[in-house]
Chain A
Amino acid sequence: MPPFPLQSDWAFVAGNLDLLLAGTGITIGLTAASILLGFLLGFPAGAVEVYSRGPLKRAVESAGVVLRGTPLLVIIILLFFGLSVSSSAFVTATIALGLRSAAYQSQIFRGALQSVDEGQLEAARAIGMGRLQAIRSVVVPQALRRSVPGFQNEFTIVLKDTSIAIVIGLGELLTVGQNLYQGGQSTAALEIFLTVSLIYFVLTFVTNRSLDYVDDHFSIPGGERA
């Protein structure tokens, strides 16, 4: 009898499913926190790139170029080991993923804001709205709708990239899987990582379908699909 029959490898995964699900919980939490941080920074950044002039615009654009031009792995290692921004791996990973996501989300929103034709802004100004109010009441609601497809992509990317937090030891899904395998308790590498992959897939699938629903729900009747 071989020391580790195939059946026992799957049994090992099944026996440790609670650990994998706990890791999945952290992955979901990290994704949500990072996307939220990315939105809170990225949306205003996109608006600044479209509507602002001068030093603020240049600063935002430069920050975006740097963040988009640096590998996420480097950002997260730099923040954790280099700058020690937080002793919490979760907080550090959120900042790293959130900043990187902000840089990408800003471009999604920039494009969406620019896609709303100037004439509508002019019409809003012509009935006496201030510039900010016109942007808020007329351009932003349409731009947000048009951001959904790009946002969908970004959500999926961030979700999967949370796995990079393995390098700072955060107990997210991939880290849990890796620990199970490396602990020397099992040779079930294939089974563990297939299960981990399946969980990532289910998460991205559900997320995408939910955002499809959001897209449908908020689409403008008679108008182009977002």
Chain B
Amino acid sequence: MSDPLLELDDVYKSYGEEQVLSGVSFEMDAGDVDVVIGPSGSGKSTMLRCVNRLTEINGGDIYLDGDCITDADTDVNELRKQVGMVFQDFNLFAHLTALGNVTLGLRKVRDMDKATAQEQGYEHLEQVGLLDQADSYPAELSGGQKQRVGIARALAMDPKLLLFDEPTSALDPELVGEVVEVMRDLAAEGITMLVVSHEMGFARSAASDIIFLDDGQIVEHGPPEQLFENPQAARTGEFLSRLETAHEEE
């Protein structure tokens, strides 16, 4: 059997006295879409950021495609070429057009010539349905469009794994759909995705596995039908019902 694409092995992270991750372990295979849910402050985003080492762990190991990426001698820039990230607040480069955002990495990191980079840039913008906005600057785009540019920017690097850090939580409700739709397309294309999100529709229909994180630990990990319909842990059930109530109140 081949190695899992991503493996977290007993990962610990603390900020000073505050323990954020306390022995997190899980694996995902190529093509999997895992959705991480959990209360705010449970360590979801931190866990995600540990995978591309925007945040450094204090203990344990993380493996990507069989290679330990948390060794001291790992080249983080090489690692990050293989792991794309989509941010909650988009973090688009404000001085560049949509196309410029998508091609910057191709030009500066992959050393592509301008014409090739642009050709690929247009392809990725088309993939997220934004070909007609290629020349728009971030400030001229809606939130949903910004996030789709963010996704195209990450896709352009042709990563083995895409990380999504609450990609829809900064969006107006009516703009969530267009982003989720793009994510669904990517999932269907077999792109490996680790997604922190409370978009239950996406989680139910697109996820291979749901990971419920609470207090820095994985409380429950399983396919969506099991976790949503028949949660094994009491805490999972409580969290899901709170989430449901919150949704109804909206």
Chain A interface (Cβ < 8 Å from any Cβ of B): 116-117, 119-120, 122-130, 133, 137-138, 141-142, 145, 220-224
Interface residues in B145-203 by Cβ distance below 8 A to A read: 150, 153-154, 157
Q: Contacts A119-B89, A120-B93, A141-B95 hold; do A127 and B109 have CB atoms under 8 A apart?
A: yes
| Inter-subunit contact A128/B81 (CB<8 Å) | yes
Select which of A126, A137, A221 is within 8 A of B52 by beta carbon.
A126
Residue of A117, A127, A220 touching B104 (CB-CB under 8 A): A127
Bound: A116/B78 CA distance, A: 25
A-B contact count (CB 8 A): 81
Q: Which 5 A-B residue pairs are closest in the complex by CB-CB distance?
A: A222-B139, A222-B140, A123-B91, A119-B91, A127-B105
Contact residues, B65-110 vs A (CB, 8 A) = 77-81, 84-85, 87, 89-95, 104-105, 108-109
For A220, the chain B residues whose CB sits under 8 A away are 94-95, 137, 139
Chain B residue nearest in CB terms to A140? B95
Q: A123-B87, A127-B84, A127-B154 are in contact. Are A223 and B94 (CB under 8 A)?
A: yes
CB <8 Å contact, A120 and B81? no
Complex contacts, A130 vs chain B, CB 8 Å: 77
Main secondary structure of the interface of A (DSSP, over half): helix
CA distance A9 to B153 in the complex (A): 69
Q: How distant is the Cα of A83 from the Cα of B140 in the complex, in angstroms?
A: 55
Q: Count residues of B near A (Cβ-Cβ below 8 Å).
A: 30
A138's nearest neighbour on chain B, judged by CB, is B93
Q: How far is the CA of A88 from the CA of B138 in the complex (A)?
A: 51
- B109 and A129 contact, CB distance less than 8 A: yes
- Report B96 CB to chain A, min CB distance, Å: 8
Mind listing 25 A-B residue pairs with CB under 8 Å? A119-B90, A120-B93, A122-B91, A123-B85, A123-B87, A123-B91, A123-B92, A123-B153, A125-B54, A125-B80, A126-B80, A127-B80, A127-B104, A127-B153, A129-B77, A129-B109, A138-B95, A141-B95, A145-B95, A220-B137, A220-B139, A222-B136, A222-B137, A222-B140, A223-B139
Complex Cα gap A145–B79 (Å): 32
